[in-house]
Amino acid sequence: MEPSTIALLMFASLFVAIFAGHPLAFALGGLSIIFGFLFWDVPPDVIFAGLSNKTMGVMSDYVLVAVPLFIFMAQMLDASGVAESLFNALYVVLGPIRGGLGLAVILVCTIFAASAGVVGATEVAVGLLAAPALMKRGYDIPLTAGAICAGGTLGIIIPPSIMLVFYGSLANLSVGQLFTAAMAPGLLLATLYMLYIAIRCGITPSMGPPMPKEERTHTFGQKVRMVLFGLVPPIFLIILVLGSIIGAVATPTEAAGIGCAGSLVLALFYRKLTWTAVKNACLATLTTTSMILALAVGGNAFQSVFMILGGGDAISELLLGMQVSPLVVLYIMMGCVFVLGMFIDWIGILLIIVPIFMPIAYELEFNPIWFSTLICVNLQMAFLTPPFGYSMFYLKGIAPKEMTMIHIYKGVVPFIILQWIALIICVTYEDFVLWIPRLLFGEGAV
């Protein structure tokens, strides 16, 4: 059978397995064994030996040690009340402005994302505070839902991000360079979200009414103290983690360990460091890390068999054989990632597309750090795109009953458009993505 046909069959079978309700990790691993038996002309023991070696490769990857450490850090930050303290401060400062509470949501998500690096922790922590507060103030429900969902997704692109750690491990790229390259796109997305909220609420004040005058009782000095109390501790943690990586003081894995210690200190600072909080953070870390590594094992098996059977070469020949400019090929790849993001978890997408698309990127002479950042910006949309946008279901699980899935679906659409705008800006202006890593690591290093 032709490799292109096998490639189509593997992807079609994967989508069937997903829609049948099978866990993605087992769907990937199971299909790798089935297609290996059917089309790989070697004895069964060779297939199992190859898959065992791949599993050992995942388990012995030193960079992936950072994943549970960053997850634990995010869980402890959630327990410490950092988001609550920061939101309350910004609530008081920005409340008198039209759409001010919506802007506060994005700002808190941005700062929390730069401290945590996990979407679930960011969105749940902020959503529990913001959704009832905004709806109580008469904010438009779809706008509230969209702001919380989109703000939460910043946790996967603004460093330290477990997605960037995972990508660096898969593509054999510097995690430090990926972190610095993702800074500008992450801040661009946050800025676009805030501009959209400010403009919508400026044009239609009823969508984001200002705080009533009778509630504006805080003095300037009280506001300053609240902001400092809420802002300085997470900024300290951001500098501790990212500064140690950028300054070449620590590897990403070591910096994650420093971040864990820093999150415990913050929990102590906010008087939330309890045995129960630590135990719950450890259990959540164990659960999430197990899920990620199970996906890594299944995905590695799938992409190994896919590549051995010629699927990767078939896709490369198809894309590279097109008589079009490299930019068109790039947008085709971005479109494929976007469509996959509607159905598959970001980990599964990376495991499938990185071994296929990275060689194509090198062949087309794309800068690997720039190209990888584009993929990661694109994957932010996977959390918002129906039918399986995880960010929407995170919010639905914690939202007041007045907020329905219809409100959430309507709310995320403008923010998906903004994410595409940000992606197009990053594609058009390569230097926008690369100027920070080149500034910090040198022109020739990136």
pLDDT of 43 above 80: no
User: What are the C-alpha distances in Å from 109 to residues 32, 59, 83, 98, 433?
Assistant: 38, 32, 8, 19, 21
- What residues contact 229, with CB distance under 8 A and at least 6 apart? 85, 89
Phi, psi of 160 (to 5 degrees): -80, 125
Tokens of 251: 């590897």
Radius of gyration of the chain (CA): 22
**Measured in Å, how far apart are the chain's first and last C-alpha atoms?**
41
Please tell me the predicted confidence (pLDDT) of residue 218: 67
pLDDT of 73 above 70: yes
The Cα 92–Cα 210 span in angstroms is: 11
Phi, psi of 175 (to 5 degrees): -65, -35
Tokens of 116: 């945590």
Query: Which tens digits make up the pLDDT trace of 292-309?
Result: 888 888 888 887 888 888
Please tell me the predicted confidence (pLDDT) of residue 215: 65
Phi, psi of 271 (to 5 degrees): 60, 40
The Cα 358–Cα 18 span in angstroms is: 25
Name the burial class of residue 41, with classes exposed (0-12), middle (13-18) and buried (19+) by CB atoms within 10 angstroms of its CB.
Answer: exposed
Task: Average the pLDDT over 417-429 and give the result.
Answer: 95
Q: Are 322 and 329 in contact (CB under 8 A)?
A: yes
For residue 149, give the nearest of 120, 171, 175, 178 by alpha carbon. Answer: 120
pTM, entire model: 0.86
Cis peptide before 142 (omega within 30 of 0): no
The Cα 419–Cα 425 span in angstroms is: 10
Q: Evaluate the CA torsion angle 366, 369, 371, 374 in order and state its sign.
A: negative
Helix-strand-coil percent breakdown of the chain, rounded to 5? 80, 0, 20
Q: How many CB atoms lie within 10 A of CB 64?
A: 21
Phi, psi of 343 (to 5 degrees): -125, -25
Where b means 16+ CB within 10 Å and e means fewer, 133-172 reads: bbbebebbbbbbbbbbbbbbbbbbbbbbbbbbbbbbbbbe
Domain boundary assignment for the chain: 3-445
Task: Average the pLDDT over 180-191 and give the result.
Answer: 94
**Higher pLDDT, residue 247 or 216:** 247
pLDDT of 223 above 80: no
Q: Are 193 and 113 in contact (CB under 8 A)?
A: no
Task: Average the pLDDT over 38-62 and give the result.
Answer: 76
Quickly state the pLDDT bin for 2 (edges 50, 70, 90): confident
The Cα 241–Cα 229 span in angstroms is: 20
- DSSP, res 81: T
pLDDT of 429 above 90: yes
Please tell me the predicted confidence (pLDDT) of residue 187: 93
The Cα 223–Cα 345 span in angstroms is: 41
Helix (H, G, I), strand (E, B) or coil at 17: helix
Residue in this structure with the two tokens 């054989």, named with its chain if needed: 321
Least confident of 16-20, 57-61, 77-81, 331-335: 57-61
pLDDT of 332 above 90: yes
User: What are the C-alpha distances in Å from 416 to residues 18, 110, 338, 435?
Assistant: 23, 17, 11, 25
Please tell me the predicted confidence (pLDDT) of residue 358: 92
Q: Are 52 and 301 in contact (CB under 8 A)?
A: no
Q: What is the DSSP string of 390-430?
A: HHHHHHHHHS-TT--HHHHHHHHHHHHHHHHHHHHHHHH-H
